Structure 1
Amino acid sequence: MTDDTRNQRSQLAFARLLPKLFRGGQAFVGVEASLSGLSDEQATTRPDGLPHSVAQLVAHVNWWNRWMLDIIEMGQAQPYPKHAADTWPDVQPSDWPRVKNEFYELLARIDPHAARPDLSNPVNHEETIGELLADMALHTAHHFGQVVTVRQALGAWPPPGGGDTW
């Protein structure tokens, strides 16, 4: 097998895997199910003992996904936030529909990048497009695990779309 063939197979495998990492599937409950059935009030309620609401977690994921997509789509580094708090927007109950819709809009922007032939090209100092996409997927999955925990603490799990309860 040639290096070119190996690279093409790796590229195809990554292109098939990436949407699963963002959306869930066999390894974890999908993001659509994780967010389904939440009222504006539930989404913005921070349970006692937990640092964030579902809406805050999703807004934070949106902040970083937008930042990384801007780097990928503009092809140049973006300024890093000065403080972590800058990436945690305040979310009111009336904001939840917008925050949720923005999450899905950003997710749709990610899809076409998975099959790019230039995933190994650097775009942010030393990071490549593929590395940024993988970072986005891992960051999203990490915080969606927290979404499940918040929903469990609220007594709002499993969602109507289903979810593991064992």
Structure 2
Amino acid sequence: MTQDEQLREQLVKLMRGGQAFRTREELLEGITRQEAGRKAEGLPYTIWQLLEHLRFAQHDILDFSRNASYQEPAWPDDYWPAQAAPESQEALEQTMRTLTQDLEELVQLVQNPKTDLYAPFPHGQGQTLLREAMLVAEHNAYHLGQIVLLRKLFGYLE
């Protein structure tokens, strides 16, 4: 295996998680609409708001990574939902499906040996696919940790 193949393999493992902690699928398994919208005293967000933030931010990074006509959303307004709870269980499940789908699209970009991990995006300010993949991994791990803490606080996880 070449160094390039090793790097791509490790990036994929990093983005998918499950090496230092359980996978995203395991951590989010069984979340209900009620749980997702539950507010913890003293915290500014619900699980739903964290999930929607993750979905939006990850999709934004994916869009930036493959779209030369990328338009930057407004920070922080576009990145954080105002609604504390999902409208339905289906809306919650759709958000979690989209998280997986967008992550897998980013994984495909990273796995493609024709994609230069080090080439700056022409429409960016020096960002590369390598940087964006690591950003997704770091951002997802950070907010998944917050979700785990909330689920433990509410008694949904051991």
TM bin, normalised by shorter chain, reads 0.7 to 0.9
- Mapped contact 1:41–1:93 kept (Cα < 8 A): no
CA distance in 1, matches of 2:8, 2:104: 14
Q: 2:118 matched to which residue of 1?
A: 120
Deviations 1:69-105 (A, max 9, x none): 112122x263333331320123424121221111111
Segments of 5+ residues of structure 2 without an aligned counterpart are none
* 1:34-73: CA deviation from partner (whole Å, max 9, x where unpaired): 1001111112212222222222111111111111111212
Q: Relative contact order, CA 8 A, sep 6+: which one is greater?
A: 1
Distance 2:7 2:143 in 1: 21
**Which residue is equivalent to 2:43?**
50
C-alpha separation between the residues in 1 aligned to 2:22 and 2:37?
21
Deviations 1:120-152 (A, max 9, x none): 111122111111111111111111111111111
Deviation at 1:110, TM superposition (A): 1.6
Percent pairwise identity: 27
Moved over 6 A (4+): none
Distance 1:77 1:153 in 2: 42
- Which region of structure 1 is more displaced relative to structure 2, 125-134 or 89-98? 89-98
The alpha carbon displacement at 1:18 in A equals 2.0
* Residue 13 of structure 1: aligned partner: 6
Which residue is equivalent to 2:56?
Answer: 63
2:104 aligns with 108
Q: Which residue of 1 aligns with 2:86?
A: 92
**Corresponding residue to 1:32 among 20, 25, 29:** 25
TM-score (norm 2): 0.85
Which structure carries more helix by proportion? 1
Q: Which residue of 2 aligns with 1:129?
A: 129
SS in 1 for 2:92: helix
**Letter in structure 1 aligned against 2:35:** Q
Rounded to whole Å, the distance in 1 between the matches of 2:104 and 2:7 is: 17
**Which ranges of structure 1 fall in alignment gaps of 5 or more residues?**
159-166
- Name the amino acid aligned to 1:115: Q
Distance of 1:98 and 1:14 partners within structure 2: 31
Task: Tell me how far 1:23 sits from its aligned partner.
Answer: 2.5
Matching of residue 78 in structure 1 with residue 74 in structure 2: no
Residue identity in the other structure for 2:94: R
| Root-mean-square deviation (Å) | 1.9
